[in-house]
Structure 1
Amino acid sequence: MITDQWLRAPGPRLTLNRGQQVVAAILVLLLVTLVVVSIQSSADQRAYTHHTARTEPVSNNTFFTVRDSLTYIEKAEQYLLGVVPRRDVQLARALLAQRLRVIAANGVSAADAASPEYRWALNALDSVIAEAPAGILPADQRTKWAGTILPRAEVLSEATHALVAGNPNGLHRFDRSAEEGLLRGRVVQLAMLIAALVLAAALVWWIAANVVRQYRDTRRAFDDERDTLRKTEDRLDRVSALERGQARILERIATADPVSSVLRQIVQLAAEVSGATAVRIAMGPRSVVYPIGSDVSEAPAWTGTVTDTADTAGTLEVYGDPESFDDLAHTTLVRCRDLVTLALERDASARRLSYQASHDALTGLANRSLLLSRLSQSLMLARHRGTPLAVLFCDLDRFKMVNDSIGHAGGDELLIEAARRLSTTVRETDTVARLGGDEFVVLCPELPDRAQAITLAERIRTTLSAPYTIDGKEAFVDASIGITFADESTVSGAELMREADVAMYRAKLTDGSHINVFDSHLEAEVAQRLDLDTALRHAVGRNQLRLSAQPIVTLDTGVITGFEVLLQWHRPGMPVLYPGAFIPLAEDNGMIVEIGRWVLRETIETLARWRADGLALDLTMSVNVSPRQVREPGFAEEVLQLLDKAGLPPESLIIELTEHALVDLRVAHPVLARLRDAGVSVSLDDFGTGYSSLTQLRTLPVDQIKLDRSFAAALDHGDAKQRAVVQSVVSLASALALDLVVEGIETVAERDTLLDLGARKGQGFLYHQPVLCDLARALLETGGVCAVPAEGSYSALAASAVPSPSLSVNVRSQLPSPSVST
């Protein structure tokens, strides 16, 4: 450390005389002028370069567009020859799409620079390639597809070559006058630079002479300070040792060295710099002394208090002669005390971060990283010992709906409670992890047998399905659990996780028990479902959905009072799919909202066209609506806008929801109330299969109930109890002023019994099966009456698709249920 006397000592001063100042001023002026000229020259050069390079990228962009387009055409032709699979054609198309998104220097992308003919030809070829079979084109289909693909490929080829003809690539011509101006600027800069260098050299030589003279004068002053410098050398060495030691210790702290090693270095630094005879750090049972074996039984000469993040008090104790400690010694000891605090805080922080990195922040359970680590270890032990190992993948059913109802804070509280229940249900040796959202995994090593894993899954499902009390309200969720077991063919923990996930996914699709054990057939089933999921996402855009309608009639006359709209999926080359086959999938992937919106729009437009032609003036159209669709913001306003745009009265539309949906949609009741206030009716579909509570029926916002088909079918057996149940439903509907529609009427005996019991409206194969909207229109044009056939047969239209009444059971399994739509 430098003394005050040294700081006050005069030093050499470099001063310029008047002549040197003039030369320096001229040199500065020359340099400023040179900078200004250089800036102007650089600006001219950039402008010239920008001008000459503007058109260069555009030509390159067109060249690569042409190249990638021809590659796409070539792959399409190779596909027709059976040389490459369709995937190679799609890969070439993806490369071309990437090229078309490239933006040239003029700000125009390659796609925008292309001609409309080129874009039309490209879209035409894309559409036919999308419909072509996947993989290698079979030989027996090549002639068929060649007639479709080759003409479009030739049109695209012509449009591609037209791009080349419309964008000739010529040589850029330089502006000679601009070049000459740039050259003159460079000459001026060079001359000014040479002049500046000459002046600078002269000035440096002049100043150097002055420096030599001043050096001789100041050397004598430095000699006078030599003694002072020698006196400070010892102090500087100690300061240097302190700084180096502190830096070394800070580095060890930053790199997470063991805290015991860091503490040993701190006491060593404190002893060496301060000159103490011994230094000790005492932290509860932890004690570090330097030098090792020193006597620390007497009172310390200096003590500093240390506190770590756990509020555990400790001390830094220094032994020796207190009078020998100068100010640097005290500074050293304070710094060492602070280093101890920092090391302890860093150690606690590292432990805390390690915990956070391996545990879920919300529930405190193990996270994916820790789970996979333990799974890998358990898998190795299972192979070594030959004991079973199971992985249970748990997913909370209906959690998203509950979360939307009670809010995200309530959803987090539910997840925390579910995690607590899981942790108390499994064994101590099991690991419970949360992967995110409502997905949990239980790792069960060393099971006695596989049956115990299934028993544990049943216990977990029962525990998780018990009611949750959130903010004083009850919430209900269920659990789907997939189970997989490790065997000699198991490759890794990630494979087990994937198998358990597949089993859980299949369990969610299983009615009744939602527990499924993985087997190899599940993978193919899930892959098929994923293919169906992909196709469903394009069904609306590709116009593959069709509406059908089943008449709702007065039972005694067969006069049509309305239609229930149903949905069919017509995929090219595939059997027609009915709602039961794809609506649950649409619910899972979120497509149900888009599909439901399409069904509502098509239904309203169809009814508007019928009314414009003088048909269906007093008829209603019933549309099944998904609970998820009702929860969408603005649902009620969207429905009313569609009705207003089509010029239909709201009374012509009936929204159908199941009992489960209406009970779960209590938060959406204001939406339904908005529709009912406007005139839209709400129907309770599949009545009798859900909660069937009189209190709920009294409070639910409905105008109509539709009795489930199972009640009408049971009337054929003459069951007195079943007859009494139907009679009570008819009386209940009358007492509550609710419109009653009976579903699934298939025989004259069922019809007659229902009339005797007081029912007046219904639908079923006895009157008519669901038909496409064009046939439904034809039915209205011929009088709007469904004639009831003789006992034991269906109506004429139904008979065309359903040959005999003996096939009614099979018909139910093949045709859509009137209660299942969107």
Structure 2
Amino acid sequence: MITDRWLTPPGPRLTLNRGQQIVAAVLVLLLISLVAIGFQSSADQNAYSQHSARSEAASTNTFFTVRDSLTYIDRAQQYLLGAVPRRDVQLARAMLAQRLRVIAANGVTAADSTGPDYRTALTALDAVIAQAPPGLLPANQRTRWADAILPRSEALSERAHELAADNQAEQHRLNRLAERNLLRGRVVQLAMLISALILAGILLWWVAANVVRQYRTARRAFDEERQALRQTESRLDRISALERGQAQILERIATAGPVSSVLRQIVQLAAEVSGAPAVRMSIGRRTVIYPPGADVSGTPAWTGVVTDNADGAGTLAVSGDAESLDELAVTALVRCRDLVTLSLERDASARRLSYQASHDALTGLANRSLLLTRLSKSLVLSRRRGTPLALLFCDLDRFKMVNDSIGHAGGDQLLIEAARRLSGTVRESDTVARLGGDEFVVLCPELPDRSHAIALAERIRAALSAPYTIDGKEAFVDACIGITFADESTVSGHELMREADVAMYRAKLTDGDHINVFDSLLEAEVAQRLDLDAALRHAVERDELRVSAQPIVMLNTGVITGFEMLLQWHRPGQPVLYPGSFIPLAEDNGLIVEIGRWVLYETVQTLARWRADGLALDLTMSVNVSPRQVREAGFADEVLDLLDAAGLPPEALIIELTEHALVDLRVAHPTLARLREAGVSVSLDDFGTGYSSLTQLRTLPVDQIKLDRSFAAALDQGDAKQRAVVQSVVALASALSLDLVVEGIETLAERDTLLDLGADKGQGFLYHQPVLWDAARATLESGGVCAVPADGGYTGLASSDAPSPSASTNLRSHRPSPSVST
């Protein structure tokens, strides 16, 4: 819209002719000269003021110089009269000397302002005063010194008065000269001001005569300018419409507006701003036409290509006459084409971010957030339709050990493969999620019945337990699965997740059964285990752990060749706990490293004390070590430093590891090799219960194998196959030059059969049960032999700490297995 301001005719343009320009130039020069003279007058005035100030300062300096000179003369005369001591004269001279060093505003010292006559007179008086007697001048010397001092003081007084008179005359002359210069400048300035005013009046009259003529010319130009203005306003309206529409579209893109709605808005803007009869946008499966239903079958007047994006390439086509599209219309269409690209890229980016926010980055499975969202929706549908809903919590058993063995990159590959197997096992309607680490959750909505969930868990466990091939190597893990079902009492998805987690935790603790269905009793059991976990974290610092020792003997004589260290937990007011009750827990929470380090220290220190007392000089101590402990950096150095500090040879210590641990601890073999090179032996505990092949046994870094107690038990039952197995193991140990120890010997029949098969070393309740340090020491002090009575009943050496074993040779102990240790 054109406002009244734009309708007002413009005033005449002021244009000067050549004569006016000359007069104006002269006037400007006069004004510049006037200003320059004004500045010069101000500068002269400032210079005069500064000169006056300097002159006044110099005059003041001269005045004080004269005053201090007269004071000096006065003190000298009083000294001649005996009124003051010579010290006062010298003080007056010091004040004069200080004054002579003062620098005035003109940069000249008071001394330099005096003449040579003054300085000569001052020097002469100073010389006489310097020779005068100190203190008050005696009366009998005053006449003699007056003849010397008075002429010189009078000469200095005359020079001082002359100095004052000369300074006043010079000051008066300079002031008169400066005043004349200032007056001359004022006169010139006034003359130039009058000339400038006259020229200005002439120029003003001359210019006024041209105004009317120029005004008429300006009026004619007004109509032309108004027409151009209307065209400009129309262009500005189109630009404003484009900018507003573009801003609105950008806002909708930034706020993630629906992409279909944004594209319609862009096409509408392109049609309105360009003035085209119809605009069509085609990209992928999307087609938008504005106005809706318009005919766009003809050849387009303009076509813009939309760059490739997630939906593919496309075009923005404009119908109509190409000549009707001006530069602004083309600019608007190019911007609309770029807005289409930006909108599609923003939509694709939003979809990617949404996917990343709801899916696991490594496996592509749903994450916890998406799982809980779907779980909440599924719970609502389950209550509404009355269909069962199950949640399966899966954990890969032994994954950390495999991950440490093959590296984190290999562990990631294993997790990706496990996710692929899980996704291929479940239904399409199920949701598989990864919570982190090696934990997976499967949401099974709308099940036919609960048995389907249990069957699915069996299939999942079978799929996850199959061997994995990572970088050409086989890896084995197992799966523990906890199952929970939603019912009327289920409050939320978080509660269901907790129940499934509890069931999975219980499945990990159950030997042989890795699938567990949640029930209310599980919570109390898990809570009890958590309490046990909390108490175990303080067991070492509270001195609640005890190391017991079970003798390893020669089967035929009972002579002790060494001890195996076993662990007990003595909690105040609680029954004694054996390793099977808390060592797996320590393995899970990582305390096994600290506990194992403590057992090693106690064992080495005890053996060192026994040897210092002349006991156990040829005996060995066998200590069970956790795989996690062996994987600790510096484990070998720690063991060897401990032996060295206690003064024990490395041959006195045997490190025991289970068959499972040695097969999986390929990365720890250099550590075991370092210990063996130093002299520490490595024993393969519970041999026969694992899955190592004969080839692996040949290559494993071991010096001793300990046959599991289950083989000795079978011998008591007369099992011919078991007898053949044991005989093969004895022959295998002999062929591989490995020391063989049989565990769990409890009857004479077992002992005799083992001797017949060629075994010569073992341990078990038949000879001695595990006892604390003092009882083990008593056994050594009494001869170091574990006697076996003829009836096969256990006697051992007397120990008040040792509970009585079974009285019958055929009745086996039901105590926790002593072979379960650290």
Same fold by TM-score, threshold 0.5 exceeded? yes
1:238, 1:808 → 2: CA distance?
A: 109
Distance 1:291 1:718, change over 3 A: closer
| Partner residue, 2:481 | 481
| Partner residue, 2:684 | 684
| Partner residue, 2:753 | 753
1:282, 1:556 → 2: CA distance?
A: 95
The residue type paired with residue 740 of structure 1 is L
| Partner residue, 1:805 | 806
Where 2:546 maps in the other structure, the secondary structure is: strand
Shift of 1:455: 1.3
| Partner residue, 1:609 | 609
Shift of 1:691: 2.2
1:809, 1:236 → 2: CA distance?
A: 110
Where 2:377 maps in the other structure, the secondary structure is: helix
1:621 aligns with 2:625: no
Contact 1:792 1:805 in 2 (8 A): no
1:424, 1:644 → 2: CA distance?
A: 56
2:365, 2:749 → 1: CA distance?
A: 61
* Higher Rg: 2
Distance 1:366 1:807, change over 3 A: farther
Contact 1:624 1:819 in 2 (8 A): no
2:605, 2:381 → 1: CA distance?
A: 65
Where 1:814 maps in the other structure, the secondary structure is: coil
Where 2:287 maps in the other structure, the secondary structure is: strand
> Which range is displaced more, 545-554 or 754-763?
754-763
The residue type paired with residue 581 of structure 1 is S
2:761, 2:780 → 1: CA distance?
A: 18
The residue type paired with residue 767 of structure 1 is Y
| Partner residue, 1:821 | 821
1:787, 1:319 → 2: CA distance?
A: 111
1:471, 1:696 → 2: CA distance?
A: 20
Shift of 1:311: 6.0
Shift of 1:718: 3.3
What are the residue-to-residue correspondences of 1:331-342 with 2, within 5 Å?
Answer: 331-342=331-342
The residue type paired with residue 495 of structure 1 is E
2:309, 2:786 → 1: CA distance?
A: 83
| Partner residue, 2:650 | 650
Contact 1:704 1:740 in 2 (8 A): yes
What are the residue-to-residue correspondences of 1:685-700 with 2, within 5 Å?
Answer: 685-691=685-691, 693-700=693-700
Shift of 1:319: 2.6
Contact 1:766 1:789 in 2 (8 A): no
Contact 1:564 1:818 in 2 (8 A): no
Shift of 1:804: 4.6
| Partner residue, 1:543 | 543
Shift of 1:798: 6.5
Contact 1:768 1:798 in 2 (8 A): no
Contact 2:389 2:447 in 1 (8 A): yes
1:594 aligns with 2:594: yes
Distance 1:806 1:441, change over 3 A: farther
2:781, 2:805 → 1: CA distance?
A: 27
Output one character per residue of 1:457-489: Cα deviation in whole Å (capped at 9) or x when no partner: 111111111111111211111111111111121
Aligned-pair identity (%): 81
Contact 1:395 1:480 in 2 (8 A): yes
Shift of 1:588: 0.8
Output one character per residue of 1:95-140: Cα deviation in whole Å (capped at 9) or x when no partner: xxxxxxxxxxxxxxxxxxxxxxxxxxxxxxxxxxxxxxxxxxxxxx
| Partner residue, 1:553 | 553
1:718 aligns with 2:724: no
What are the residue-to-residue correspondences of 1:257-656 with 2, within 5 Å?
Answer: 257-310=257-310, 312-656=312-656
Contact 2:554 2:560 in 1 (8 A): yes
2:343, 2:391 → 1: CA distance?
A: 40
Distance 1:563 1:399, change over 3 A: same
Contact 2:681 2:702 in 1 (8 A): yes
Question: Which ranges of structure 2 fall in alignment gaps of 5 or more residues?
Answer: 1-12, 15-31, 43-207, 209-214
1:668 aligns with 2:701: no
Contact 2:425 2:460 in 1 (8 A): yes
Where 1:802 maps in the other structure, the secondary structure is: coil
Contact 1:768 1:797 in 2 (8 A): no
Where 1:315 maps in the other structure, the secondary structure is: strand
Distance 1:308 1:769, change over 3 A: same
2:633, 2:724 → 1: CA distance?
A: 42
The residue type paired with residue 746 of structure 2 is E
Output one character per residue of 1:754-779: Cα deviation in whole Å (capped at 9) or x when no partner: 22332222111222211111222232
| Partner residue, 2:784 | 784
Output one character per residue of 1:503-522: Cα deviation in whole Å (capped at 9) or x when no partner: 11101111112111110000
1:696, 1:798 → 2: CA distance?
A: 42
1:809, 1:255 → 2: CA distance?
A: 82
CA RMSD after TM alignment: 2.9
> Which range is displaced more, 500-509 or 727-736?
727-736
The residue type paired with residue 393 of structure 2 is F
Output one character per residue of 1:602-637: Cα deviation in whole Å (capped at 9) or x when no partner: 211221222222222211110001111111222112
Contact 1:550 1:565 in 2 (8 A): yes
Distance 1:809 1:339, change over 3 A: farther
The residue type paired with residue 432 of structure 2 is V
The residue type paired with residue 573 of structure 1 is G
2:551, 2:316 → 1: CA distance?
A: 91
Contact 1:300 1:317 in 2 (8 A): yes
Distance 1:465 1:640, change over 3 A: same
2:774, 2:708 → 1: CA distance?
A: 27
> Which range is displaced more, 792-801 or 602-611?
792-801
Shift of 1:672: 1.0
Shift of 1:491: 1.5
| Partner residue, 1:247 | 247
1:479, 1:242 → 2: CA distance?
A: 62
> Which range is displaced more, 573-582 or 283-292?
283-292
Where 1:280 maps in the other structure, the secondary structure is: strand
Distance 1:285 1:461, change over 3 A: closer
2:728, 2:800 → 1: CA distance?
A: 33
The residue type paired with residue 727 of structure 1 is Q
TM-score of the aligned structures, taking structure 1 as reference length:
0.70
Between the two proteins, the alignment pairs up a number of residues equal to 612
Contact 1:308 1:345 in 2 (8 A): no
Shift of 1:251: 0.5
Distance 1:737 1:239, change over 3 A: same
2:369, 2:653 → 1: CA distance?
A: 53
2:472, 2:629 → 1: CA distance?
A: 28
1:728 aligns with 2:752: no
Output one character per residue of 1:776-804: Cα deviation in whole Å (capped at 9) or x when no partner: 22322232222223423212547864335
Question: Which ranges of structure 1 fall in alignment gaps of 5 or more residues?
Answer: 1-8, 24-216
Output one character per residue of 1:348-375: Cα deviation in whole Å (capped at 9) or x when no partner: 1222222222222222222222222222
Where 2:280 maps in the other structure, the secondary structure is: strand
1:446, 1:658 → 2: CA distance?
A: 45
TM-score of the aligned structures, taking structure 2 as reference length:
0.70
The residue type paired with residue 523 of structure 1 is E
Distance 1:318 1:804, change over 3 A: closer
The residue type paired with residue 388 of structure 1 is P
1:552, 1:412 → 2: CA distance?
A: 44
1:322, 1:797 → 2: CA distance?
A: 115
